């Protein structure tokens, strides 16, 4: 069986689907969103960077590897430790990234094994992948967390590096398939929060078979990733952008609630 390249596994993850979850962050992403807060998840290979940590006032640096190959069995070993929490909370595993569908074979194997273990499965995706890859994991995925970043193809290309044609097409197909889906909309000031776009997005979501969309999550932009860019020597293009205010987020919540779909600020 193929191994999967993973850059982080987080336990007591409570914002990536229902209950207490383990989120498996898979490395490699075809998008490069300006606001990405996991830039270490973008490149599809093992990277190394300098990790600096403090002991008292002294700083020590040593090379740290980002990305490790896991077998499905190794993932299961970690999940088994969490079964008691899954059972109590109705939680499970979420495959996120990066883009998990960039490693479709491994993802499918892992999801199948999780289902065999009786674990609730979620996939957090940008939707940028060939439809057959998505289709293959449908039977083993209980919940999709699907990012919609921008409805304009050109703006999408500008800010994420890819157009949104296949993403929106996949989204429609996914909704048609009847799978439970939660939409995630990152609210990025100056990029996708203009009134015109918001109106279009609301219309789009309300019109796209909302029965299967169980939630719209509004993810406010935040800058917690900026230090990672510095550490990795990458340019950070969002330095001058401020996070949306709490009031603004509340307004947006009310705005999207008019779709009739449950809206939540945060995951």
Partner 1 sequence: MIISDRVKKLREQSLAAPEKLSAERAQLLTRFWKSGAASEMPVPVRRAMAFEYILRHKELFIGDGELIVGERGPAPKETPAYPEICVHSLKDLDILNSREKVSFKVDEETKRTYEDEIIPFWEGRTNRERIMSLMTPEWLEAYKAGIFTEFQEQRAPGHTVLGYKMFRMGFIQLKEEIREALAALDYFNDPEAFDRAGELQAMDIACDAIIMFAHRYSGELARLAGLEKDERRRKELVKMSEVCRRVPAHAPETVHEMLQHYWFIHLGVITELNPWDSFNPGRLDQHLYPVYKKQKEEGTLSDEELYDLLGCFWVKFNNHPSPPKIGVTASESSTYTDFCLINLGGVKSDGTDAVNEMSYILLDVIKEMRILQPSSMVQISRKNPDLFIHKALDIIRTGFGQPSCFNTDAIVQELLRQGKGIEDARNGGASGCVETGAFGTEAYWLTGYFNLPKILEVTLNNGIDRRTGRQVGLQTGFASDYQEFDEIIEAFRRQVKYFADIKIRGNNVIEKIFARWLPVPFLSLLVEDCISNGRDYNDGGARYNTSYIQGVGLGSITDMLTSIKYNIYDNRKFTWDEMNRALDADFNGFEKLRYELIYNTPKFGNDDDYADRQAVTVFEAYYDAVNGRPSARGAVYRINMLPTTSHVYFGSVTCATPDGRKAFTPLSEGISPTQGADSQGPTAVVRSASKIDHLRTGGTLLNQKFSPSFFEDEESYNCLTALIRSYFSLDGHHIQFNVVNAETLREAQKHPELYRDLIVRVAGYSDYFNDLGEDLQNEIILRTEHEDV
Site for partner 1 in 26-55 (CB under 8 A): 53, 55
CA gap 149, 219 in Å, rounded: 11
State which of residues 45, 132, 196, 224 lies at the interface with partner 1 (CB under 8 A): 224
CB of 109 to partner 1, least distance (A): 25
State which of residues 32, 71, 89, 152 lies at the interface with partner 1 (CB under 8 A): 89
Q: Indicate the residue among 10 and 200 with the shorter CB distance to partner 1.
A: 10
State which of residues 11, 172, 230, 262 lies at the interface with partner 1 (CB under 8 A): 11
Question: Does residue 97 interact with partner 1 by CB under 8 A?
Answer: no
Question: Does residue 247 interact with partner 1 by CB under 8 A?
Answer: no
Report how many residues bind partner 1 under the rule CB under 8 A: 24
CB of 44 to partner 1, least distance (A): 24
Question: Does residue 12 interact with partner 1 by CB under 8 A?
Answer: yes
CB of 210 to partner 1, least distance (A): 21
State which of residues 15, 172, 230, 250 lies at the interface with partner 1 (CB under 8 A): 15
Query: CA-based diameter of the chain, in Å?
Result: 57
Binding site for partner 1 (CB under 8 A): 10-12, 14-15, 18-20, 53, 55-56, 58, 60, 81-82, 84-85, 87-91, 224, 266
């Amino acid at each position: 069986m193929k191994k999967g390249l993973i850059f982080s596994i987080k336990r007591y993850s409570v914002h990536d689907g229902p209950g207490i979850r383990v989120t498996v962050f898979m490395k490699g992403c075809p998008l490069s969103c300006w606001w990405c807060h996991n830039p270490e998840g973008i490149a599809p290979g093992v990277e190394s960077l300098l990790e600096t940590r403090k002991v008292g006032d002294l700083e020590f640096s040593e090379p740290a590897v980002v990305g490790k190959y896991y077998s499905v069995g190794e993932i299961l070993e970690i999940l088994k430790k969490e079964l008691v929490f899954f059972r109590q909370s109705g939680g499970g595993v979420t495959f996120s990234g990066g883009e998990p569908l960039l490693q479709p074979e491994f993802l499918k194997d892992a999801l199948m094994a999780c289902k065999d273990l009786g674990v609730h499965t979620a996939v957090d995706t940008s939707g940028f992948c060939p439809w057959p890859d998505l289709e293959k994991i449908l039977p083993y995925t209980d919940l999709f967390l699907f990012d919609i970043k921008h409805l304009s193809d050109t703006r999408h290309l500008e800010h994420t590096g890819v157009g949104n044609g296949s993403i929106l097409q996949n989204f429609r197909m996914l909704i048609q398939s009847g799978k439970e889906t939660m939409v995630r909309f990152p609210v990025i000031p100056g990029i996708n929060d203009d009134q015109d776009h918001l109106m279009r997005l609301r219309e789009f979501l309300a019109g796209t078979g909302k029965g299967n969309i169980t939630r719209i999550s509004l993810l406010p932009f935040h800058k917690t990733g900026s230090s990672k860019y510095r550490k990795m020597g990458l340019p950070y293009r969002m330095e001058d952008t401020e996070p949306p205010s709490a009031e603004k987020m509340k307004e947006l919540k009310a705005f999207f609630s008019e779709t009739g779909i449950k809206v939540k600020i945060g995951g």
